[in-house]
Amino acid sequence: MIDVEANLKTVADSLPEDVKLVAVSKFHPDEYIEAAYAAGQRLFGESREQELQKKAAVLPKDIRWHFIGHLQTNKVKYIAPYISMIEAVDSMKLLREINRQGEKCGRIINCLLELHIAEEATKTGLRLDDCRALLADGEWRSLKNVRLCGLMMMASNVDDEQQIGSEFDTAWHFFDEVKAAYFADDNAFCERSWGMSHDYRIAIRHGATIVRVGTAIFGPRVY
Ligand SMILES: *Cc1c(COP(=O)(O)O)cnc(C)c1O
């Protein structure tokens, strides 16, 4: 078995104190999560609703789960009762459903808006102009069971560190823009979730407050 504890320590030690580490455990067995948990990790990320359900049912209750994948609206109800944050919200329709399910279980659900900045056509998320339009429309203000906590994005999957850094900067500037326009008095809107195994070191130099690291902790995923 891969040395989860040593890998976790290496990653955690390289982060500034105020950057949160989401250990991305998707596709990895419960034992890997338990090993990270035993080493003190409490924040984990999953990207498939059914897999998360199974894990959340049997693993320690003080784990905070972030949903980091694309979430279908018809799946929101299953995770609404316990999810700590839904990171990849990319439509008003999804936000409305999260609000509806949050209301049903008496929770205010933390959400990040996912930006699409990378060049790849396959990446999900809101284009900057679409995100501007969503916020300008203002309907989100009426969603009392949703708390917008910031932005999330994935950089292009390239080796060019400069390109990656400049994509993070684009997201960071955009964060400052919407923070000033809509969330200046809202302390909850403070998170910038970017950086994965291959680029989290770059991300922390470019404004990340949350990094989502899987492979560097748990090894390669077996799909
Ligand atoms: C899988 C995944 C990660 C982690 O990727 P690694 O390269 O294994 O660190 C981070 N963010 C999202 C959205 C993911 O889907």
pLDDT in tens, 123-177: 689 999 999 999 999 999 999 999 999 999 999 999 999 999 999 999 999 999 9
Q: Is the CB of 157 under 6 A from ligand 1?
A: no
Exposure pattern of 169-202 as b/e (b: 16+ CB <10 Å)?
Answer: ebbbebbeebbeebbeeeeebebbbbbbbbbbbb
| Sign for the pseudo-dihedral over CA of 48, 54, 57, 63 | negative
Which pLDDT value is given to residue 30? 97
Confidence of residue 18 (pLDDT cuts 50, 70, 90): very high
Measured by CA distance, the residue closest to atom 6 of ligand 1 is 214
Q: Is the CB of residue 215 below 6 angstroms from any atom belonging to ligand 1?
A: yes
Q: What is the pLDDT of residue 222?
A: 84
pTM value > 0.85:
yes
> For residue 121, is pLDDT > 80?
no
| Test site for ligand 1: of 24, 164, 194, most ligand atoms within 8 A of the Cβ | 24
Q: Strand, coil or helix: what is 66?
A: strand
* Percent of the chain residues past pLDDT 90, beyond the cut: 95
pLDDT band at 73 (very low <50, low <70, confident <90, very high): very high
pLDDT at residue 68 in the model: 98
Statement: residue 118 has pLDDT above 90: no
Contact 151 CB / ligand 1 (< 6 Å): no
- 199: pLDDT strictly greater than 90: yes
CA angle (26 as vertex; 200, 145 as ends), nearest 5: 85
Among 65, 116, 212, 215, which is best to mutate for testing ligand 1, by the most ligand atoms less than 8 A from CB?
212
- Give residue 209's pLDDT: 98
> Is the pLDDT confidence value at 19 over 80?
yes
Which residue's CA lies nearest to atom 13 of ligand 1?
Answer: 68
